[in-house]
Chains A and B, each alone.
Chain A
């Protein structure tokens, strides 16, 4: 990957290595002098924070795996053994358990940042799509991780979610049997989920590598959403942003460990401290909080779709729900191609900004709907919010493409900072 002339290092050992394998040159180029817009706000910390969480998950996860027993008979007890008898096992387990939640918090904020400042737009489309892929992989990883302690919610969550695949016409049931490795969620399901739960985080590491690589080709976006015009617009990544990231990471960690040490089960469900029992169905089966909005979309489709007033049904309700759920993530995936408005940052797009806040509110309401039993007024509310969720992408954004005025942008980041715009650097 070495290209162009290499600068010599003073330290002879580093120089010896670098002239054979230019790894120090690479590090310096990508993380040392890497030119970074000078006007980042604290939203730009969440990429680094997500990275820290990914590493935390892998380190704590591998430690847990050393004590975990992958069998329906032993899984629950082995997790309790970790909690009670393994040295600092409770700490490792609570770090992992709450780490998943905080990983999602970081990534949700990271995604919001991208949507607010238009970071998904040209030339960063692929960077954004890799990000959505990471999000999908995280969801798969966390879903399978939640099955491992083999509590009531583990078992019933796995049963409900894997059953979704039976909605696929013709081959659905065979797929479900294939996923389960049998005719119900049982030992073969648990063992394969463990194997995949171990594997997927490393796939995530790979995609994160591509994500950062793509970032370093296009360079970072910034709160103004305008392009970097020259060196006066940027600062070297180190020490400016290494220090700022360090501070942001520490603040985030404070909130994270406050949960780990003082309310480790606040984000979980009490039923998962009851060993899995296929004969007893919990009153409400709810997934982890970070899935709730998507769970609400899944359950919002309570009606078959076909030709009205006839018996002809194209899409049964169950399949409709599955399609809506995956469709909601697909919307994020194709967002760069839906939004063709020339301005990136919502700072200069008042219409889009209002719609985006509306979208966030709708998403949070969906989250609440997902936690409630699918009855009463929660059903129409979920349906309304699902409609609004999709409307944001396929109605509002195309409308803004045509109608939202193109505001005048500051000439450069440098000038904006000097005249001390409200979005200037910290």
Chain B
């Protein structure tokens, strides 16, 4: 009886959970098999570097990534000198100096990724009133974030018959409401990869999403590795305690 109660309660609560977050209009995204999925998943360094290149050459024209610092790029496999060089490509406004003036200087590894616009209003003004959101947390800020962003980047279509688009709107089959203010950002061959990987929209979308997934959860690999050790420890410890408990209780049975 007891175990039946427990099983029933568990089962019911699972049904409750799994359906609890399934609200809203339902759009299915293609299910990509990411290397970072699952309890042993890791990021693919080559994909991260390619994805960073796509972000740098395409997305960063409109989207900032304020939560990421140039120094964090070491996780992508860049060494210190490479990171210094990347950072120095940007002019960062600093100050005020001793005379009270703001000044521009080359970026340093400790700087945050430079945003394309000085403030949100400038971002809106340049994009027909729609603000390109910061991408640092984008993958965590959407349901099934990685699959979603990949789908979004490859989901541009001509609008179906009878759908009117306003100036600056574009039709995307995966965007909620379908009318998005971002023009299709990717085109075949727009970025030339140094490692010889083919330059297709699909490949760019996979790579840049991979990079954004890292940016949203830079701790992911460490987290999962720690998790496996912690769980192994707890399982052994629990087993041991169970044995001790059995031993103690055997006297009273």
Chain A positions within 8 Å of B22 at CB level? 371
Query: Chain B: which residue is nearest A422 at the CB level?
Result: B1
- Which residues of chain A come closer than 8 Å to B248, judged between CB atoms? 239-240, 243
**How far does the Cβ of A157 sit from chain B's closest Cβ, in whole Å?**
15
Contact with B along A318-349 (1 / 0, CB 8 A): 00000000000000000000000000000100
B67 partner residues in chain A, CB cutoff 8 A: 77, 80, 84
Chain A residue nearest in CB terms to B136 = A80
Q: Number of residues in B with C-beta < 8 Å to the partner? A: 51
Instruction: Classify the secondary structure of B's interface with A.
Output: helix
Complex interface bits, A88-112 against B, C-beta within 8 A gives 1, otherwise 0: 0011001000000000010001001
Contact of A257 among B21, B176, B231 (CB under 8 A): B231
Q: List CB contacts (< 8 Å) of B3-47 with chain A.
A: 5-6, 8-9, 12-13, 15-17, 19-24, 39
In the complex, whether A251 has a CB less than 8 A from a CB of chain B is yes
Asked whether any CB of chain B lies closer than 8 Å to the CB of A377, the reply is: no
- B1 & A347 in contact (Cβ 8 Å cutoff): yes
Across the interface, name the chain A residue whose C-beta is closest to B2: A41
* A367 proximity list for chain B (CB < 8 A): 16, 20
Contact of A372 among B23, B39, B234 (CB under 8 A): B23
Query: Are A83 and B20 in touch, CB under 8 angstroms?
Result: no
Encoded as 1 (CB less than 8 Å from any A CB) or 0, chain B from 212 to 228 comes to 00001011000110111
Q: Is the CB of A254 within 8 A of B227?
A: no
Minimum CB–CB distance from B224 to chain A (whole Å) comes to 6
Is the CB–CB distance between A286 and B23 below 8 Å?
yes
Q: Are B9 and A373 in contact (CB under 8 A)?
A: no
Asked whether A161 is an interface residue with its Cβ less than 8 Å from the other chain, the reply is: no
Chain A residue total in the interface (Cβ 8 A): 59
Q: Which residues of B contact A84 (CB under 8 A)?
A: 67, 72, 218-219
CB distance from A304 to the nearest CB of B (A): 27
Looking at the assembled complex, report how far the CB atom of A248 sits from the nearest CB atom of chain B, in whole angstroms: 9
Within the complex, what minimum Cβ distance (angstroms) separates B5 from chain A? 7
Query: Which A residues are in CB contact (< 8 Å) with B166?
Result: none
The CA of A267 and the CA of B244, in the complex, are separated in Å by: 34
Q: Are A243 and B1 in contact (CB under 8 A)?
A: no
Known: A243-B245, A254-B238. A371 touches B19 (CB 8 A): yes
CB closest chain-A residue, reference B235: A254
Q: Is A283 touching B176 in the complex (CB atoms < 8 A)?
A: yes
Q: Among residues 369 to 426 in chain A, which have CB atoms less than 8 Å away from a CB atom of chain B? A: 371-373, 422-423, 425-426
- Partner of A246 from B1, B24, B216, B245 at Cβ < 8 Å: B245
A261/B219 in contact, CB under 8 A: no
The answer, yes or no, to whether B183 is at the interface (CB within 8 Å) is no
Residues in chain B near residue A262, CB distance under 8 A: 39, 224, 227
Enumerate chain B residues within 8 angstroms of A357, measured Cβ to Cβ: 8
- B143 beta carbon closer than 8 Å to chain A: yes
A240 and B23 contact, Cβ closer than 8 Å, known pairs A254-B235, A360-B9: no
Q: Which residues of A contact B (CB under 8 A)?
A: 38, 41-43, 77, 80, 83-84, 90-91, 94, 105, 109, 112, 116, 223, 235, 239-240, 243-244, 246-247, 250-251, 253-254, 257-258, 260-262, 264-265, 267, 269-271, 273-274, 283-284, 286, 289, 292, 347, 357, 360-361, 364, 367-368, 371-373, 422-423, 425-426
- What are 25 A-B contacts defined by CB distance under 8 Å? A43-B2, A84-B72, A90-B223, A116-B5, A235-B252, A244-B245, A246-B241, A247-B238, A250-B234, A257-B230, A257-B231, A260-B227, A261-B228, A262-B224, A262-B227, A270-B145, A271-B141, A273-B137, A274-B141, A283-B24, A284-B24, A364-B12, A371-B21, A371-B22, A373-B24
Known contacts A258-B227, A261-B224, A423-B2; 5 further A-B pairs (Cβ under 8 A)? A243-B244, A257-B231, A258-B231, A360-B9, A371-B23
> B residues near A, CB below 8 A?
1-2, 5-6, 8-9, 12-13, 15-17, 19-24, 39, 67, 72, 133, 136-137, 140-143, 145, 176, 216, 218-219, 223-224, 226-228, 230-231, 234-235, 237-238, 241-242, 244-245, 248-249, 252-253
Q: Which 10 A-B pairs have the closest CB atoms?
A: A261-B227, A250-B238, A273-B141, A243-B245, A364-B16, A90-B219, A371-B20, A273-B140, A247-B241, A273-B137
